[in-house]
Copies of this chain bind each other. A is one copy, B any other.
Amino acid sequence: MVHSVAVIKNTRERIMAAALDLFAERGVLGTPVTSIEAAAGLSPGSGSFYRHFKDRQELLAAVVEREITRVAKLPVDPSTTDGTRASELAAQLCNDLAFLGELRRLIAILFWERGKAPDVAERVRSLMVERGVELGIAELLLTDPIDVVRADPSAASTVMMCAMVGYFLSMEYFGTPPAEVDPDRFTRTLARLLVRG
C-alpha cells in the first residue's frame, strides 16, 4: 500500500530546516514568521505557517529538540583512544572540534536566547561535556598523567574543554582565534601541554 507518499519533503520539515538556520543566524527575535515562511517556500505574510505550528515559540522548541536529538546520535569518531601519546590526544581534540562544529547552530541559538532557556543551556552543555570530557578524554588524561594532571584531573579537563570552547567561539564570533593559529597547531599544542610524549 503506497498511499503516494509525498516526494517533496513536507512543509513542516521545510519550516524546521529553514528555522534552524535562521534562528542560529539572526536569533529568534530577529526572524519574523514572515521570513520563515519565505525561506520555506510559502507566501510571506500568509499565515500558512500557523497550519503547522502554534507560534514561533513552539517552532523553536521543536527545532531545538530535533537538533539535540540529531547531534546526540552522531557516532563518536573513535581515533584510537587506547594510547597516551600527544598525537593521539591531538587527533581526539580535532574530532571534538568537529563535534563543536555540529553543535554550532545549537550554541548560536543558546547564545541568542541567553537566560531565556536555561534548560536548553544545560542540555547543550552536557552534550559538550559528555562528549568532550567524560567520554574517553578523561581516561586518556589519567593514563600515565603528567604531574599537573595528576594533581587535579578535573581542573585539567576543564582547562582542556575551556581551551577548545574558547577557540571555537573565537572563530565563530570574532572570525579568528586570538592569534593566527590554525586548528591543527592549536590542538597539537594543547595536547602536548596535557600529556607526555
Contact = CB atoms under 8 A, between A and B. Distances in A.
Contacts of A185: 152, 155
A81 interface: no
Contact of A170 (B162, B176, B177, B194): B162
A45 interface: no
Interface of A: 25-27, 29-30, 110-112, 114, 118, 121-122, 124-125, 128-129, 132-133, 148, 151-152, 154-159, 161-167, 169-170, 173-181, 185-186, 188-190, 192-194
A155 B169 contact: no
A157 B145 CA distance: 22
Contacts of A162: 162-167, 170, 177-178, 186
A155 B186 CA distance: 6
Given A125-B178, A128-B178, A158-B181, 19 more contacts: A26-B114, A27-B27, A27-B112, A29-B30, A110-B173, A121-B174, A124-B174, A151-B192, A155-B185, A155-B188, A155-B189, A157-B179, A159-B193, A161-B179, A162-B162, A162-B164, A162-B178, A163-B166, A166-B169
A128 to B, nearest CB: 7
A183 to B, nearest CB: 11
B170 A186 contact: no
Contact of A173 (B121, B164, B175): B121
Nearest to A132: B178
Nearest to A146: B193
Nearest to A147: B192
A189 B118 contact: no
Nearest to A24: B114
Contact of A125 (B112, B133, B174): B174
